[in-house]
Amino acid sequence: MNSSCSLPLLPAHDEQRWLLPSSLPAVAGDAAPTAGERPLPPELLAVLWRRGHRDALAIMALLSPPAAPDPRQHFPDLVRAEQRLVQACRQGETVAICGDYDADGMTSTALLAGVLQRLGAVALPAIPSRMAEGYGLNVAMVERLDKAGVRLLITVDNGVAAREALDRAEELGLEVILTDHHTLPAALPPHLALLHPAVTPEGSPFRGLAGVGLAHVLASGLCRRLQRQDGLAIALDLFCIGTIADMAPLVGVNRRWLMDGLPRLGSSTLPGLKALQQIAGIEQRPLDAETVGFQLAPRINAVGRIGDPLLVVELLTTEDQDQALDLARSCETMNRQRRELCDAIEAEALALLEADGPHRPTFLLLAQSHWHHGVIGIVASRLVDRFGLPAALLAGEGNGRLRASVRAPRGFAVDQALIACSDLLIRHGGHPAAGGFTVEADQVSGLHERLEALAQQWVGEGGGGRTVEPEALLSLDRIDREFWQHLRRLEPFGIGHPAPIFWSSGCTVVSQKLMRGGHLQLVLEQQGSQRRAVAWRWHGPDQVQGPLDVAYRLRLDRWQGEERLQLELLGLRASGGDEVVLQRQQRTYWCSRRGNVLVIRNAAGVELEAPVAQGLQPLGAAATTNQIDQGEAHHPYVQDLFRDAAMALGLAV
């Protein structure tokens, strides 16, 4: 899976659909009051509760995951693979590592190559050309490796679907260790050993490993057999980089190993990592997951998208500091080129959409033969962020064919949509959020019609548009260094455990300005507390009017030696004011606050009152007007109604 660390694009006010979190039940405040010796703030406990961490044990398992179990008990073929590699290292054998050109494939290849060459084997990296050969091991590569005298081949981040290539390897007498995390076919290709998450027991903490994680398992086992601590260290360093760059789920051993590896990553002995930090201007900064994801990962990914991925492998395996710096500069150059390509293609795509007039299609499908295959996925993601609709960008492949990258909002299943159109496609693949396909040019019109019908059906069922889904209410006066330190206890953040999205209500705009690059900077105030906020790649109105509700992630901004907390805005909307309307079970309720009392009125004019509660404790009807029976006031339906009203008015976490 490729990753893009481009900044999120904030949709215009009228394109947003806010989905506030569910109200907390009465037991929420008691179920997880603390985590260890230092109690977590109620806002963070609310986030964890809504994510399913609902008692102290579950929270402690998140904050301090258990050590990884012995992988030999989870991967049946691991011992066989280790034994074969011990033989290769002791005999100085040439071992080919066949990877892929995405972040996972490049870091996996570098990890095994770096470890093997330190342990005595001759590592020979082999990655296919994105433009000429496409994904995965192929017959031509196998035949080239055979002619080079290779007798042992390891696949990383690919291989289980390379039936033709591995049949040829068997014919030529090459042994193959398969490490891959893509879907296993019904019949596996020939192999000596297989490391795959799906072969581990149900519920195994190794189930979330990407290719770089499997490479780490294999390399670490080999290092322990040969008692080489230096190999263990670089394996963990490259595991951290690859796992974050590939956006692997941060669950199970992924989370444990990142927590072990990230604190020491900044002092890695790898010259390539040091050079990347220097080029990115972060050599004096701790390397947390966010810094890796936004500063180092794009420079690695750029090479795989528009250049030769073996450059990254060489960068991450060289022991020469001068060479590492030269290679890091090449990564930086390609990253600038990647940004320029993305900006140019995005501008063209938006112009094409504008040329269609006001009747924009529901499925955005755009094609230009000169677009670069390596970056159209990034631009497709930007269009999804901008319009909240599925998007496919197609680039020329030659011979009357086009190759596409597809991205979609949550709820529109890309893989299922492509399956429904498979009779029009030469090949296709993907998962619910992203995919790709190759198509004959004369089939594009019919393909778009079918995808458009699927997208319209999805919109008709309630899909479409950008949703803003905050997880907990946070007052601006609660944002300080102490809260930030508590938030950092929940790190690392990533897929499966993202950084929390907070929201604050009734904020006024003290000042605003458009920054270079089209970003909007605001200073927001709420009850006397002010905070700086940034909306990246803003395309809303020139002037933002308050009062506003804002949804955001909390970030630590570092600029010219100064550190300050700021809000990274994900959503804006006009505040509801002192009254909101709730619709429940075809009934309408008017909800308002009168001092320290929450009032709910139904269509008949009957009112219920409850005091405004604090923290995690839910609101309950404490008093009634119009002589409503007290038992009715404490009915679960009414209690839930008060909690929902408090949430909508910004009175409850």
Q: pLDDT by residue (tens digit) across 96-135?
A: 999 988 888 899 999 999 999 999 999 999 988 766 666 6
Which is nearest to 10 in space by CA: 453, 501, 393, 452?
501
Stretch 326-351: mean pLDDT: 95
Interval 509-547: pLDDT, tens: 999 988 887 788 999 999 999 999 998 878 777 778 878
CA distances to 194, 206, 207, 208, 407 from 182, in Å: 12, 14, 12, 11, 19
Interval 71-104: pLDDT, tens: 999 999 999 999 999 999 999 999 999 998 888 8
Contact 507, 548 (CB under 8 A): yes
624 band by pLDDT with thresholds 50, 70 and 90: very low
The pLDDT of residue 647 is 76
- Using left for φ > 0, alpha for ψ between -120 and 50, and beta otherwise, residue 438 falls in beta
The pLDDT of residue 1 is 36
The mean predicted confidence, pLDDT, of the chain is 87
For the chain, percent helix, then strand, then coil, each to nearest 5?
40, 25, 35
pTM above 0.75, yes or no: yes
Cis peptide, bond prior to residue 309, ω within 30 of zero: no
Evaluate if residue 31 carries a pLDDT over 90: no
142 vs 171: CA distance, rounded Å: 11
**Sheet with 623-624, side-by-side order of all strands:** 579-584, 587-594, 597-601, 607-611, 623-624
Tell me the fold of 356-463. Diaminopimelate Epimerase; Chain A, domain 1 (3.10.310)
Contact 322, 352 (CB under 8 A): no
CATH architecture of the domain with residue range 13-31+470-574: Beta Barrel (2.40)
CA distances to 17, 86, 169, 390, 562 from 411, in Å: 14, 47, 41, 10, 41
118 vs 125: CA distance, rounded Å: 14
Domain 71-334, classified CATH 3.90.1640.30, yes or no: yes
Provide CATH 3.90.1640.30 ranges for the chain.
71-334
Residue type, 69: P
Residue 399, C-beta contacts closer than 8 angstroms, at least 6 positions apart: none
The pLDDT of residue 283 is 83
Considering only residues 255 and 183, tell me which one the structure prediction assigns the higher pLDDT: 255
Q: What percent of the chain has pLDDT over 90?
A: 59
Q: What residue has token string 């201007």?
A: 281
Contact 52, 28 (CB under 8 A): no
Provide CATH 2.40.50.460 ranges for the chain.
13-31+470-574
Provide CATH 3.10.310.30 ranges for the chain.
356-463
Stretch 325-349: mean pLDDT: 95
Contact 300, 312 (CB under 8 A): yes
Contact 522, 511 (CB under 8 A): yes
